[in-house]
Structure 1
Amino acid sequence: MPPDRMPQDWPYRDKTRRVASRPHDWSVVDIGKGPCLLMLHGAGGAGHSFRNLIPLLATHYRVIVPDLPGQGFTRSGARGRYGIDAMAEDVATLCKTMDIAVSAIIGHSAGAALALRLSPLLNPKGIVGINAALGAFDGAAGVMFPLLARVLAVTPFIPHVVAKLWGNPATVNKLLTATGSPLDAAGQAQYLTLVRDAAHVDGTLGMMAQWRLDDLMRQLPTIATPTLLIASSGDLAVPARISRDAAHQMSAASYVELADHGHLVHEEAPQAVADLILHFLAGLTPD
């Protein structure tokens, strides 16, 4: 049964179910048959961001798409577990609860960092990162915004204020355009639903406040899992060089850059992204 807060027209609502896996009450899309792909969205999004990619992969694989703790429609059971290490442990526990063996992990933005952190816990055959957020953001915003997020995350009433102030079509469209990915009306409406949800805003701010990548970045050269890093030349949120530089540090990583599209390339150009993913997965050791 999908979560009660989920709109009737939410993508893959009929394939979404609750999974109680400590410490969270997860919202998980489970669709398709075959080797299992775990798909992890970025901060501020939800599993819905893979809505256009899912049907292109579910014809070959069983696709598992959880909303991350506190975001989308997953109810958090521990606000102190939004950092990358704790979240990786909780996602691994979710997979154990669901009794699934993950063949590959696909992550977008911060979800790509989480996918790499999960490598030693789930031992996948491959990892795909889409516009992976693996470095510090440039400019003044990169200094001020994390600090602001930490303040907001420990002030209980602030998420409600943010949801009220930002939860309008013009602001959401501006936020999406700032990523280099102006979406269609349906995509914008789905993000508007999330921004208007104070619980989702609280989960997003909490994740941003607790997210630390120093250990993961030091470990990149030791990650031997075959990895494909896909970047977009038009990404205004995470520059393509972040993925390119990370690939150079990894012993088993390859890098592909798509022209023109922005940070949400998997929503803008799902077929191009799916083609790269399927080609990469086909080259992995069979299950």
Structure 2
Amino acid sequence: MDWASNSATWPHSEHSRFVLSKPHKWHLQEMGSGPLLLLIHGAGGSTHSWQHIMPILAAHYRVIAIDLPGQGFTKLGAQQRCGLDPMAEDILALCAKENLRPAAIIGHSAGAAIALRMAERLAPSSPQIIGINAALEPFAGVAGVMFPILAKTIAAVPLVSDFFSATTSMGSGVERILKGTGSNLPPQDIAYYKRLVASRTHVNATLQMMAQWKLDALIEGLPNNQAQTYLIAADNDLAVPPTTSQKAVAKMPNAHCDMLSGLGHLAHEEDAHRVADLILKALAPSHLENQGNSL
């Protein structure tokens, strides 16, 4: 994605800045003051997915949202750094360079898995983790084999990636994909996803992420992850079953889960106030005062 041609109309672009933390050039958005909340979007998203909830949280906290490597406006510096472990390591390196000490890390979908991996790296002084429709199970059955292979194939052939971007961004392709998550977004929000999907670099990075995604070690380590963890699951999520969060919480020593009714995978985009209310309740001031010293 080209920042020069998009900045004037991208959500909260006035709060954007860029940071070179090798191997990537990161796009960050920052607003508010107080204890730091770090926001990590899911696969195929960007900072725009936090556009409605970020100002609500920023009324109480300092909030920083990032674009994952190669997605949105973050420039990918190494193709092989799109998996779970490399992204967690690279975000921690970014935080160290910028002296960012998150009191809590909030992740959506795959972003929640990255947040939990970061918490493992930061133990025993892990920040609080909040996951929204956390993607904490591998693809089941044949999909577990075929999806990564297809992702690798498409990402490795530039013309195929171009074709995917062009055909999906045209017509009703994006609408069908978003409908398949169980969420209903207004046309103006869908338009941002269309712009992302029209970008070959964004699509390629998302496919690289899928191809390199491995959750086995994270899932096996959940019983030993001591981070205070709060998972929010939506009962109409057609992308990640809400039982995924319930199963994860059952394995973890310091975790609990709440269910949202009537919302889908993009719950924080559908009803930002409702999701924000749950997050703000989970962010107990007494807990946050003891956080933010982990980097």
Alignment partner, residue 281 of structure 1: 283
Shift of 1:247: 0.5
Shift of 1:7: 4.0
Amino acid at match of 2:85: D
Is contact 1:16-1:27 (8 Å) kept? Answer: yes
Shift of 1:139: 6.4
Amino acid at match of 1:108: H
Deviation per CA, 1:67-115, whole angstroms, max 9, x where unpaired?
0000000000101100111111100011112111111000000000000
Is contact 2:147-2:211 (8 Å) kept? Answer: no
Alignment partner, residue 257 of structure 1: 259
How does the TM-score come out when normalised to structure 1?
A: 0.96
Alignment partner, residue 230 of structure 1: 232
Shift of 1:168: 1.7
Deviation per CA, 1:183-233, whole angstroms, max 9, x where unpaired?
101110000000000000010000000010000001000011110010000
How much identity, in percent, do the aligned residues show? 46
Alignment partner, residue 201 of structure 2: 199
Higher alpha-carbon deviation: 263-272 or 116-125: 116-125
Is contact 2:223-2:252 (8 Å) kept? Answer: yes
1:241 lines up with 2:250 in the alignment: no
Change over 3 Å in CA distance of 1:193–1:79 after alignment to 2: same
Shift of 1:285: 1.8
- The aligned runs of 1:150-169 (5 Å cut-off) are 150-169=152-171
Shift of 1:169: 4.4
How does the TM-score come out when normalised to structure 2?
A: 0.93
Alignment partner, residue 43 of structure 2: 43
Higher alpha-carbon deviation: 117-126 or 193-202: 117-126
- The aligned runs of 1:69-218 (5 Å cut-off) are 69-122=69-122, 123-138=125-140, 141-218=143-220
Amino acid at match of 2:94: L
Alignment partner, residue 292 of structure 2: none
Change over 3 Å in CA distance of 1:217–1:227 after alignment to 2: same
Give secondary structure in 2 for the equivalent of 1:8. helix
Alignment partner, residue 62 of structure 1: 62
Higher alpha-carbon deviation: 9-18 or 118-127: 118-127
Shift of 1:147: 2.2
Is contact 2:103-2:288 (8 Å) kept? Answer: no
Is contact 2:53-2:268 (8 Å) kept? Answer: yes
> Quick one: distance in 2 between partners of 1:62 and 1:5?
28
> Quick one: distance in 2 between partners of 1:5 and 1:69?
20
Deviation per CA, 1:225-279, whole angstroms, max 9, x where unpaired?
1100100000000000001100000000001010111000000011111111111
Task: Report which structure shows greater RCO (CA 8 Å, sep ≥6).
Answer: 2
Is contact 1:126-1:284 (8 Å) kept? Answer: no
> Quick one: distance in 2 between partners of 1:37 and 1:244?
24
Unaligned runs of 5+ in 1: none
Is contact 1:134-1:242 (8 Å) kept? Answer: yes
Shift of 1:47: 1.2
1:19 lines up with 2:19 in the alignment: yes
Higher alpha-carbon deviation: 157-166 or 125-134: 157-166
More helix by proportion, 1 or 2?
A: 2
Is contact 1:137-1:238 (8 Å) kept? Answer: no
